[in-house]
Structure 1
């Protein structure tokens, strides 16, 4: 560890007087941390740096933030704790000086199809109150403007009450929401391909239904056989119109089968309820594939996609309905709210205006409140979460941020830095995990972890000031001032991919030729239309492979080895070396531990309480039967069992399968690609659910690198990369292009821009101020012209 003296480690502004001004961590051993001890100044901004996998998140999120949350949960009664997740104490000797920790991470906001930017903040709630007070004609109370509350007809008795003003009330359970009855507040309706539901040449008893889970041997079979609406032995094509209607569309109806009360519903309402009303990404893979096969979604013709009924849409304030307000760009909506002069609603207008201004201040003014929350990027989601805290009256809180600069153009990073400093200046402790030099530069205190990743990391290699880090000699310190130079020459394109009249989202009829056979970087401020152009007009074409940061589809058993196909050659190598079947070396097949079914943990359902997971005592979390672990690969003292192989990081496995008795060329080739994309520190058996967005993208890239030819689209591949790894990524991009691939990168990092053969810059601003191509050409031409925000920042970066 590079140790700074106490004087060196503190800026003059810190004035750390005693232990009450510190968060003290002693002996942290979470994940790869090696008895880490560190003292973090309170009410200051501390940035945690280090290569990917060095232990930053283990220290900040899994130790400090996790223990704060656990201690807070323990203050509640046992009854209340029963509704909370069960949190174990992190493995650490001493952890004191903690304050309430609020984690503002990159996890995407819930992709519930009913969730929007407006519903996940207070903005929609305040708009509904505003329209219920000022809207004319009034639709009713605030819920009358909510697309998540259904319309119910009045029932019960009407009673006229006398007194201070006469009013008529309806007694009984009555409410009147704003949900569009046609699409049930979804904004879209589904058209179902009936041919994908059944084979009409067969009867139900012959297995006509092709819907997952609708077997005649199970629960549905009992209902369909006993309902009496049709003959289960008659081919469906011979059904009468009424029989077919009852099979497909009959509304839920109470029936009795063998003396048991059951509910029958036609296939369509049943599928609508079970599958189509849920977020598609939350479904199991085979169910998701079924839904994608049967359903086509179109905008609801009744509400035109607004999700609201006629009454809610017809109520207006100065000619604007709540649907119109939610469809505006937030910066325009903020201006409209400021223009409303209504003294009776002044406090509400002030609070709503402040919330909307926060969106603009944080660089999200181009969003609309109707934008589905599941479509936000990880960086956008994190900044939306920040809005909840900017106006908070709480102080002496510990805010924890995970790479808040992700998805931000260099022009926008300045505003983000100001917001982080505002949180600090209110008396809060701000902990930031970051790689960008511009974000590290505002730190009062820096903690650098390393020296490398995985087993070679987990140590504090520097604590102190920014200047101290620069002079420390650590990997971060050595690369802090790295600047990529413009290439002396650029490649010549082999052709062009034409885009004509692109109008997705904010694009304004864009025509552009994207060169092929070269490295193309598409850039511009957040919200300028980069993703709309590439994902809307390039992704999906023949030969185009899109590698993004979206969630990887798979179960909680999935890991890098299963996702990349690496496990297949590994299993075959074990089988060949030991003369047994490959299936023995699968934790999802014959080799699975019988106690935990190969999961490595036992899940215990506790009724209304949180499900508890505990390490399987029989296999000790190794997932395999004890007899399987007796088989080794590699021979002699270097022999490894299958669980030991899955515990290896990629770099160790690459050496293991590259030589000696364990040499397996097919496995080694996959491992080389994983190392090439900067994932050498990942364990082969690490659950995919624990990977960051950048790690997921690089894992996907590794799986596609073996394909021949084609066009690759990468979406911010520098996400989560340390300064030292960016050069490695540039080398990888060069190798892809030199191997005959065309590479299109959506990116904000100036080093990638400088390395491009061709730049397409969108802007000039965000939202309706963007959507145009403002520059096409080489990086050198962009620097010389300085005609755009990107050009100005790139010129400053390369010293032009």
Structure 2
């Protein structure tokens, strides 16, 4: 295999004899990639670096991994392919030498309330089998221990055809014992709706009493209630009889006729449960989410104590432990319990269970419990859980693809992750890693650096070679690889504090701490030490606290930075004012949409089992707007030309002259402040990298009028060069009078802090305590915690 010398910027083309040892990519053009050609060595650890938005994910995930999975899917019959996702072939001229790709990304697990750490892995299934074999009393098969299986009993008949004999009907009875708690239906919690948040009971239906979003006086939802015939429209709700109140709140679906139209009436409570509570909270529009938070409280189920399981399922035990107890243990404790079991009849099952639980511990997730809801896991935790099923795999010569596997990891845990990546490589696999952390870049056999910038300024390969070659190169990554933020000579003094007293959320142990205001305060500690529990679960939330957490941005391919930030509203109004027409004309999702493509800019052709083909709309040429709309101009530009601008270009455009629009300019300034000046306004959100989405969310929240910002790992997805810009932004926020509280593992942010609160000393039940409070300099001098030791090494103290 031919490798580039340290001083070379590109590797030479390999000899034909070496081609089976390489993954060859020629002419890759996905997203912002500019005809990229590259050879990646197989059975090596290759790290892809570059600033956020430089094209790393487009090359690794959207090109290499996507094509591998597409080719594997094509080996199945057309019938089977009909049930599988059908990704399109990536925009690339040549892509060969591929092996089967296993993608371990940082996409969060679904927030289905029935999904837990145990159900998302094989651990729960193995425990159910174990209890069905060894549990006393014996209550049935594995389903009897599952909170997703309800108990069912039924009887009926079926016809038996006896041929020449007369057919006859035989009776059959069926029963199934499930482990689901009937009170909460296996959810572990029950919802309680505050009726005072739904309507004003001093008003009648004729007086528009509802305070529920979309329940407006003239809408069909309210008309069905008002004209159902069950109520006197002029009678105050508080004067309803017992029957009227039941019909109003709880009546089951009933057919009613209104103005000759057959419609369905349903009580308010079941209607709200179906229309609001059955949805993922994060996918709700902000005003809907605010209503749900205001009107609905979730309490632990009184019947099962939150275990989700029926009393029968909880009655069966192995020794003194039932399956609910087992799932509630920290996984490292559960692993010890499983090790003490000795039953030859289930030896293979026990061996597999122990291996799975030990993998959790090995990967740094021993502090979790199997009953932890999967929707509460961070992106880093979700990614590491996905790794578990691969650690013991006998497969070799496959390609593992990782997306920043160090996300959410304390410096103490990064070495463990590095060891796992190297172990996968040493089994004869190709390991491709998109990463920013220098500790992981350092272990690479081969480095590919993309850039030189982001967006349209990126998409080219700036360097291929060894880590030492990267360090000596003049690329952005090479120049910043050895960056170390120093401790500040002077730190700001607090001007107040948010008091936390007796905090016991999750693993916190009666914590008392004062979180200083008016400074940059960083909360540190190993993963699972209690940082999020302290800030998101225990911090007082007076008016003015703005929380920017790690929940992902949701949006369709029609969503873009302009729509997400609210920028498009003042832009549409500015166009409308200058041209004397309605603002809706300048929306590709409304009146201004191209009638041929409905404002999508492309037309999709369904090819059944094959990937739908997207072709640019010939009518609007991909501009998304009706031709007549593009005749209206602002500052010499039409609306499609404005949406094609970069943030930096638009900031200048809307800052002066005829197009001067202060409301738009303010939003654009915030986007530039967080380092997104290169993004185009109309770029689909689905094409943004993780780091770009995080910063876009921060830009939106900077408009909030809060005086306290709580940020959760804002360096997620940021290149070394971008971290410096982030520190500048945090400083500007504090200097403008804001208080900034940051959960962070990045040592540059720790070193730059005015005050550090360190939790630990370990994770889970070994954490939950304050192990240090003070300045970074004091933390380094004392070296009394894991954070202190690593920070001292980082700053060279």
Q: Normalising to structure 2: TM-score of the pair?
A: 0.90
Match of 2:29 in 1: 29
User: CA, structure 1 residues 656+234, in 2 after alignment: closer, same or farther (shift >3 Å)?
Assistant: closer
Report how many aligned residue pairs link the two structures. Answer: 780
Supply the distance in 2 between the matched residues of 1:554 and 1:655 (Cα, whole angstroms): 27
CA distance in 2, matches of 1:796, 1:295: 48
Q: Does 1:634 align with 2:635?
A: yes
Whether the aligned pair in 2 keeps the contact of 1:521 and 1:759 (CA below 8 Å) is yes
Name the residue aligned to 1:149.
Answer: 149
Measured in 1, the distance between the counterparts of 2:382 and 2:760 equals 22
1:76 and 2:50 matched: no
Distance in 2 (CA, whole Å) between partners of 1:781 and 1:97 is 53
User: Could you say if the C-alpha distance between residues 347 and 35 of structure 1 is closer, same or farther in structure 2, counting changes exceeding 3 Å?
Assistant: same
Identify if the C-alpha distance between structure 1 residues 195 and 703 changes in structure 2 by more than 3 Å, giving closer, same or farther. same
Secondary structure at the aligned position of 1:537 is classed as: coil
Q: Distance in 2 between matches of 1:132 and 1:741?
A: 57
Distance 1:443-1:515 versus aligned 2 partners, 3 A rule: same
> Residues of 1 paired with 2:319 and 2:768: CA distance?
29
Q: Where does residue 326 of structure 1 map in the other structure? A: 327
Q: 1:604 to 1:180 in 2, by over 3 A?
A: farther
Structure 2: distance between partners of 1:287 and 1:666:
25
Cα distance in 2, alignment partners of residues 189 and 109 from structure 1: 22
In 2, Cα distance between the equivalents of 1:86 and 1:397?
Answer: 21
How far apart, CA to CA, are the structure 2 residues paired with 1:676 and 1:412? Answer: 32
**Structure 2 counterpart of 1:106:** 106
Shift of 1:18: 1.2
Contact 1:250 1:266 in 2 (8 A): yes
CA–CA distance in 2 between the matches of 1:95 and 1:554? 31
The whole-number CA distance in structure 2 between the counterparts of 1:703 and 1:634 is 26
Does structure 2 retain, via aligned residues, the 8 Å contact 1:550–1:697? no
The correspondence for 1:657, drawn from 643, 654, 676, is 654
2:594 aligned partner: 593
CA contact (8 A) 1:8 1:465 kept: no
> Which residue number corresponds to residue 124 of structure 1?
124
Report the alpha carbon displacement of residue 431 of structure 1 after superposing the two structures with TM. Answer: 0.7
In the alignment, what sits opposite 2:671? 674
Report deviation, 1:209. 6.7
* Counterpart-to-counterpart distance in 2, 1:607 and 1:58: 26
CA distance in 1, matches of 2:261, 2:352: 55
Checking the alignment, whether the CA contact within 8 Å between 1:152 and 1:176 is kept in structure 2 is: yes
Quote the Cα distance in structure 2 between the aligned partners of 1:604 and 1:248. Answer: 46
Partners of 2:155 and 2:256 in 1: CA distance = 26
Relative to structure 1, the CA distance from residue 539 to residue 51 in structure 2 (aligned partners, 3 Å threshold; closer, same or farther) is farther
Structure 1 partner of 2:115: 115
Compute the displacement of 1:86 (Å).
Answer: 3.1
Q: 1:313 to 1:413 in 2, by over 3 A?
A: same
The 5 Å alignment of 1:225-374 reads: 239-251=240-252, 266-283=267-284, 287-374=288-375
Give 1:365-764 correspondences, 5 Å limit. 365-538=366-539, 540-552=541-553, 557-601=558-602, 615-635=616-636, 640-659=637-656, 661-706=658-703, 710-764=707-761
Once residues 278 and 89 of structure 1 are traced to their aligned partners in structure 2, the CA distance between those partners, rounded to angstroms, is: 33
Give 1:165's aligned residue: none
After TM superposition, the structure 1 = structure 2 runs for residues 23-62 of structure 1, keeping only pairs within 5 Å, are 23-62=23-62
Q: Within the alignment, does 1:771 sit opposite 2:768 as a pair?
A: yes
Task: Give the direction of change, closer, same or farther, for the CA distance of 1:257–1:736 in structure 2 (3 Å limit).
Answer: closer
Identify if the C-alpha distance between structure 1 residues 20 and 596 changes in structure 2 by more than 3 Å, giving closer, same or farther.
same
Equivalent-residue separation in structure 1 for 2:648 and 2:440 (angstroms):
30
2:189 maps to what in 1?
A: 188
Does the 8 Å CA contact 1:69/1:101 hold for their aligned counterparts?
yes
2-structure distance, mates of 1:730, 1:540? 25
Q: By how many angstroms is 1:556 displaced?
A: 5.2
Gaps of 5+ in 1: 158-169
Partners of 2:7 and 2:473 within 8 A in 1: no
Q: 1:348 to 1:490 in 2, by over 3 A?
A: same
Deviations 1:462-516 (A, max 9, x none): 0111111111111101111111111112112222222111111111111111222
Q: Deviations over 1:515-553 (max 9, x none)?
A: 221111110100001111111222633221111221336
Deviates more, 1:754-763 or 1:642-651: 642-651
Q: Provide the C-alpha distance between the structure 2 equivalents of 1:420 and 1:663, rounded to a whole number of angstroms.
A: 52
Of 203-212 and 181-190, the range deviating more from structure 2: 203-212
Residues 15 and 27 from structure 1, CA distance in 2 versus in 1: closer, same or farther, beyond 3 angstroms? closer
> Structure 1 residues 663 and 10 mapped into 2: Cα distance closer, same or farther (>3 Å)?
closer
Report the Cα distance in structure 2 between the residues aligned to 1:16 and 1:604, rounded to whole angstroms: 40
Task: Tell me which residue corresponds to 1:166.
Answer: none
Deviates most, 770-779 or 263-272: 263-272
Change (3 A) 1:210 1:510: closer
Q: Retained in 1: the 8 A contact 2:499–2:540? A: no
- Counterpart CA distance in 2 for 1:659 and 1:196 is 46
1:18 paired residue number: 18
Deviation at 1:399, TM superposition (A): 1.2
Task: Give the direction of change, closer, same or farther, for the CA distance of 1:610–1:324 in structure 2 (3 Å limit).
Answer: farther
For 2:515 and 2:288, how far apart are their aligned partners in 1? 37
Instruction: Could you tell me which runs of 5 or more consecutive residues in structure 2 were left unpaired when the two chains were aligned.
Output: 158-170
| 620 and 797 in structure 1: CA distance in 2 versus 1, 3 angstrom threshold | same
Residues 202-254 of structure 1, C-alpha deviations (whole Å, 9 max, x = no match): 77798777766779999979987998877789775565423432443345679
Does the CA-based 8 Å contact 1:112-1:278 persist in structure 2? no
* Aligned-pair CA distance for 1:155: 4.1
- Measured against aligned partners, the alpha-carbon deviations of 1:431-462 in whole angstroms (never above 9, x if no partner) come to 10001000101111110001111111110010
* Shift of residue 281, structure 1, vs aligned partner: 2.5
Deviation of 1:709 after TM superposition, in Å, equals 6.5
Higher mean C-alpha displacement, 301-310 vs 580-589: 580-589
Q: Deviations over 1:759-792 (max 9, x none)?
A: 1111000001001111111111111111110011
Tell me how far apart the structure 2 counterparts of residues 408 and 698 of structure 1 sit (CA, whole Å). Answer: 20
Matched ranges for 1:192-207 at <5 A:
192-197=193-198
Measured in 1, the distance between the counterparts of 2:615 and 2:208 equals 40
The change in CA–CA distance for 1:251 and 1:40 in structure 2 (over 3 A counts) is: same
Q: Show the counterpart of 1:140.
A: 140
TM-score by length of 1: 0.90
Helix, strand or coil for the counterpart of 1:191?
Answer: strand
Q: Deviations 1:22-53 (Å, cap 9, x if unpaired)?
A: 11100111111111000011111110001111
Q: CA deviation at 1:401?
A: 0.8
Q: Distance in 2 between matches of 1:38 and 1:133?
A: 54
Deviates more, 1:284-293 or 1:722-731: 284-293
Aligned counterparts of 1:251 and 1:577: Cα–Cα separation in 2: 53
SS in 2 for 1:153: strand
Change (3 A) 1:496 1:265: closer
Paired residue secondary structure (1:31): coil
Distance 1:304 1:611, change over 3 A: farther
- Name which of structure 1's ranges 295-304 and 535-544 shifts more when overlaid on structure 2: 535-544
Q: Kindly tell me: are residues 16 and 428 of structure 1, through their superposed partners in 2, closer, same or farther at Cα, counting changes over 3 Å?
A: farther
Whole-angstrom CA distance in 1 between matches of 2:429 and 2:184 = 45
Q: Hey, what's the Cα distance between the residues in 1 that align with 2:669 and 2:260?
A: 63
What is the Cα deviation at residue 266 of structure 1?
Answer: 3.9
* Contact 1:549/1:693 (8 A) holds in 2: no
| CA distance in structure 2 between the partners assigned to 1:539 and 1:559 by the alignment | 34
Alignment correspondent of 1:786: 783
The more displaced of 101-110 and 763-772 is 101-110
What secondary structure, in the 3-state scheme, does the structure 2 residue paired with 1:178 have?
coil
CA shift, 1:5, in A, is 4.6
- Which stretch has the larger CA shift, 132-141 or 199-208? 199-208
Bigger mean CA offset, 676-685 vs 480-489 = 676-685
